[in-house]
Structure 1
């Protein structure tokens, strides 16, 4: 089967930890062929099917020159066995338009994972508000007065933009309220942009856990991203240390409750972030941590993912 990965440039991959690379490696091991392109390579002309300028690649197994590639060619997305949307955030206008193009490709007959409509309709930070039983005190607002009231009530808070990734733009404000006004101005932009505000969870010192959901089922191990030094963020991109752990009883409860819901919406893979007992985000664009979990526990997350992909492809398209 030929798989098309829509992803960031291959030159940007850090293959020792890249989840998309792990997916490719496992797929090739099973005899599937790998093709790549970026969202900018996808096009749709009147009266035609959605196409892309793609490159067929072969993974070499070498750490430096880790792939060989064939010349660029134009291909119809519906001609691939599956299309995997693995472009990293931010979820900007171009990402939004890409989901529309991929949805048209689905109408052409393509099988796309995660489902484009699900990507578009499932904002990663806002999505947690649907599950109040699993989250801590949280507010989404454009109103600076609401933010100040939330801080007055909860004293120690986290503020973040709705479109950030990798810990970008996250601020903590303690009981003294130091710099709260400046942070509101930075994130809120005079009421132009919404801000998510959450009660600070001191359990972050034990790690921001990434619980992976594949095919509606939680992976038995999570990766706890532990803040280092004076940093409040556990994100690996912000210098956090990744420690793989078995799921706790609460992690299993969360994963088993959310998994079937996410799968039914067309989300083959999701990454649920948990601090202490509380869900803080539900990542669906390009969840990571496959290789870190495998390296530390031997749990082959990439194999679980390709198993789920093959099973989904064996079923009729919803």
Structure 2
């Protein structure tokens, strides 16, 4: 097909880990196919009185530590100049990020193919979206009320996981056993004295064996990683010290993926990473899901190729105006 102009709204390109970063893998695949790769940061996005535009860098990329990209040129472009726009800014999903998802929709003429759709990202909080499927999840509570949380902790024989609603990378996740003398203090700390709601989930003992990050492209599972926590931690997140292992998808994993597929497609959530502990869905990650490079290595797949396939197909199907 004809070369596309593909934009990436992302964190500074200087900071990416070339051997791990999923966005960088997507950029490499787009470039390999002859597409023009433009990158810009959230702070470079603006509204010019008629439409959204951004200062963008046309780059070439290579998997070489320390010299992994070159800037060919830098100019301001309206977002309508893009055929595809990857929204890959890492969390936190704060007010500035939400404002950016609104700005990128303000295009005159043809809008780019969004991966993922801005409205879908806004609607699908990574901790809360899974609550649409309570039968797939561990027993869960969302509240800021200390008595409710303390009662929940007291009733879970295997223990309780507490985590901030907008947390990421394993930050702020606590494990509390029933009868833990730190429970009240931990709840007060995480809720900021009852001012912020948190997620409380019954602890799944199988989590010691690792949690699965399953990558879905256009609703279909294409690869996965079993993230195993270190011996002195309960978190499997690779950012928190977990190590990647080959994941074998079970019938239950595939059932979860199939249940999610219609809603993900409906909302334009084309690249998603779901987290599964044992038989339970815990999170649906839609902002900048990671694990592509690890899944490729462990499963012998090329997740980014599947993603760019979808981007090319949707770009070709766009109406003329």
Q: Normalised by the shorter chain, which TM-score bucket? A: over 0.9
> Could you list the per-position Cα deviations for residues 5-24 of structure 1 after superposition, in whole angstroms to 9, with x for gaps in the alignment?
00000111001011001101
Aligned to 1:17: 20
Distance 1:139 1:246 in 2: 29
TM-superposed CA distance for 1:314, in Å, is 2.7
* Change in 2 beyond 3 A, CA 1:127/1:106: farther
The DSSP-based 3-state class of the residue aligned with 2:283 is strand
The DSSP-based 3-state class of the residue aligned with 2:107 is helix
Q: How many residues align structurally?
A: 315
Distance 2:229 2:204 in 1: 13
- Native 8 Å contact 1:78 1:111 kept in 2: no
Question: Which residue of 2, 6, 13 maps to 2:9?
Answer: 6
> Could you list the per-position Cα deviations for residues 166-224 of structure 1 after superposition, in whole angstroms to 9, with x for gaps in the alignment?
000000000222311111111111221110000000111111100111011111x3101
The DSSP-based 3-state class of the residue aligned with 1:213 is strand
After superposition, residues 1-318 of structure 1 pair within 5 angstroms as 1-46=4-49, 48-105=50-107, 109-155=111-157, 156-219=159-222, 221-316=223-318
The DSSP-based 3-state class of the residue aligned with 1:104 is coil
Compare 280-289 and 146-155 and name the one that shifted more: 146-155
* Change in 2 beyond 3 A, CA 1:246/1:307: farther
Distance 2:63 2:290 in 1: 21
Distance 1:106 1:201 in 2: 49
Distance 2:167 2:175 in 1: 15
TM-score (normalizing by structure 2) = 0.95
- Native 8 Å contact 1:210 1:224 kept in 2: yes
Compare 272-281 and 308-317 and name the one that shifted more: 308-317
Distance 1:60 1:206 in 2: 35
Distance 2:74 2:269 in 1: 30
* Change in 2 beyond 3 A, CA 1:303/1:38: same
TM-superposed CA distance for 1:106, in Å, is 7.8
* Change in 2 beyond 3 A, CA 1:107/1:288: farther
Distance 1:107 1:226 in 2: 47
RMSD of aligned Cα (Å): 1.4
The DSSP-based 3-state class of the residue aligned with 1:186 is helix
TM-superposed CA distance for 1:108, in Å, is 6.0
Distance 1:52 1:182 in 2: 45
Distance 2:318 2:74 in 1: 31
* Change in 2 beyond 3 A, CA 1:165/1:249: same
The DSSP-based 3-state class of the residue aligned with 2:105 is helix
TM-superposed CA distance for 1:61, in Å, is 4.6
Q: What are structure 1's unaligned runs of at least 5 residues?
A: none
* Change in 2 beyond 3 A, CA 1:144/1:108: farther
TM-superposed CA distance for 1:109, in Å, is 2.4
Q: What are structure 2's unaligned runs of at least 5 residues?
A: none
* Change in 2 beyond 3 A, CA 1:9/1:26: same
